[in-house]
Amino acid sequence: MLDIKFIRDNLDRVRKAAKDKRSAVDLDRLLSCDDERRHLLVAVETRRAEKKRLSKEIPRLQGDEKRRLLEQLQASSEAEKADEERLTQIVAEFDHLMLLVPNVLDEDVPFGHDDQDNVEVSRWGLPPSFSFQPRDHVELGQLLDILDIERGVKLSGSRFYFLKNEGVLLEMALLRLALDLLMRKGFIPFIPPYLVKREAMEGTGYFPGGEEQAYAIEKDGLYLIGTSEVPLAAYHYDEILDEKDLPRLYAGVSPCFRREAGTYGKDTRGIYRIHQFQKVEQVVLCANDVAESERLHRFLLANAEELLQSLGMPYRVVNVCTGDLGQGQLKKFDIETYMPSRGGYGETHSCSKFHEFQARRCKIRYRDGNGGTRFVHTLNNTIIASPRILIPLLELNQREDGSVSVPEILRPYLDGRSVLEPRRK
């Protein structure tokens, strides 16, 4: 959420962000609501003061003068009630419109309509060349007997799957590898709640607008998280922190659930786009400082790059364009890892900064050295998400006989196992 004063003072910039992000928000109506809201607040306070004055005078009066003031008090009370009812309505509309206003953009965010317009900023590693016809991750998963999509679909529907045998161990090894890396860098590990209230979804910017992507437990008013960013960014909801304790570095380990609404027929083969997955997420709360936010944005990105390099996976980093940014994101880098079956790079990580957008919605502040309070800045980045990361891991490390070499850094997590052998022909 942006400050209404910031919106008024930077209206052209906010209009441009809304247009570039294709956000449907009526800024003119928002400003009109704000004008009426402020007018009504003054009117209500004025009438209350008048009622208080009349209430003190009336007991000292008699006769016609007393009746006149009683009539005046009655009229003032009725007018106050009408103003309060209108104020309740206009505040509700104002609050709703404020939730629809997108964050502004960093100056170097490229303009574009979708992920095809993202701009590459760096690349690491070289795609492999195989001396044989490589298999995709689905065929490899079947040969190794670590992936069963058919039975996942039979029991749960499309975009579900079973991991089994070494597939389970491989996913757990990747999650632990990522978590160990972050803990060495000072991150505090969390296993958060997997169900959250609407306040957390609104506070982090996923609602309103993203309801169709979330699984809702309507009876309890709860939602399955699509990322541990939600509970961790909202962990200090309505709290005031101390500046000396910033930045807060949090690492969330959780299953994630997404409906993938609007992707019918897209990426239907395999485990690239699915409804349930595991993730280790980096979440940072820092001081309200643009330079500090930028430093930490690069820090989070570097952590994910370090992990991919340790696994020997070629990747590229892209600066995400305006049309591919979420409502609250000021700027985002995606990491796309090379996947032979796709003949190119596929998104595996997203690294976002928000400045105070989420903190305002979650009411997370800190007390600075002068005793004042300011909203924190928030950032996040995936460091590993499985099973999508299994796609490049299996495909890049495959051998002609269908076996898969285990990256050296993962072997200690797999009892020293260096190769996954086929179980099936």
For residue 160, the SS3 value is coil
Burial 33-52 (b: 16+ CB within 10 A, else e): bbebbeebeebbeebeebbe
> Is a pLDDT exceeding 80 seen at residue 383?
yes
- Of 347, 367, 405, 421, the active-site residue reads 347
Helix pair 27-57, 63-100: axis angle to 10 deg: 160
> What is the reported pLDDT for 70?
72
β-bridge partners, 366: 241, 374
> What is the reported pLDDT for 66?
74
Least confident of 39-53, 132-146, 360-374: 39-53
> Is a pLDDT exceeding 90 seen at residue 261?
no
Which two structure tokens, joined as six digits, stand for 74? 């009655």
Using 50, 70 and 90 to split pLDDT, how confident is the model at 72? confident
Q: Name the DSSP class of 398.
A: B
Using 50, 70 and 90 to split pLDDT, how confident is the model at 402? very high
Render pLDDT for 314-353 as a digit per residue (tens, 0 to 9). 999 999 999 999 999 999 999 999 999 999 999 999 999 9
Render pLDDT for 299-315 as a digit per residue (tens, 0 to 9). 999 999 999 999 999 99
Catalytic, 53? Answer no
- Of 350, 356, 361, 386, the active-site residue reads 350
Number of other CB atoms surrounding residue 401 within 10 Å: 9
> What is the reported pLDDT for 393?
98
Render pLDDT for 157-202 as a digit per residue (tens, 0 to 9). 999 999 999 999 999 999 999 999 999 999 999 999 999 999 999 9
> Is a pLDDT exceeding 80 seen at residue 67?
no
- Per-residue CA distances from 207 to 10, 128, 148, 230 (Å): 24, 41, 34, 11
- Per-residue CA distances from 143 to 114, 121, 309, 403, 422 (Å): 36, 37, 27, 8, 5
Helix pair 290-311, 166-184: axis angle to 10 deg: 140
Q: What domains appear along the chain, each with residue ranges and CATH number?
A: 26-100 (1.10.287), 115-420 (3.30.930.10)
Provide the whole-model pTM.
0.93
Catalytic, 258? Answer yes
> What is the reported pLDDT for 37?
96
Catalytic, 411? Answer no
pLDDT-above-90 percentage for the chain: 87
Catalytic, 86? Answer no
Catalytic, 350? Answer yes
> What is the reported pLDDT for 162?
98
- Of 273, 367, 399, 411, the active-site residue reads 273
Give the closest residue to 126 by CA, choosing from 398, 388, 315, 311: 315
> What is the reported pLDDT for 425?
66
For residues 203-230, average pLDDT: 97
Q: How many residues does the chain have?
A: 425
For residues 213-236, average pLDDT: 98
> What is the reported pLDDT for 38?
96
> What is the reported pLDDT for 40?
94
- Of 47, 258, 361, 365, the active-site residue reads 258
Average pLDDT of the chain is: 95
- Indicate left, alpha or beta for 63 from its phi (over 0: left) and psi (-120 to 50: alpha): left
- Per-residue CA distances from 77 to 49, 52, 89, 384, 403 (Å): 11, 11, 19, 61, 82
For residues 55-76, average pLDDT: 73
For residues 403 and 287, the answer to whether their CB atoms sit within 8 Å is no
Q: Among positive and negative, which fits the CA dihedral 50, 55, 61, 62?
A: positive
- Of 356, 360, 388, 395, the active-site residue reads 388
For residue 269, the SS3 value is coil
Number of other CB atoms surrounding residue 338 within 10 Å: 24
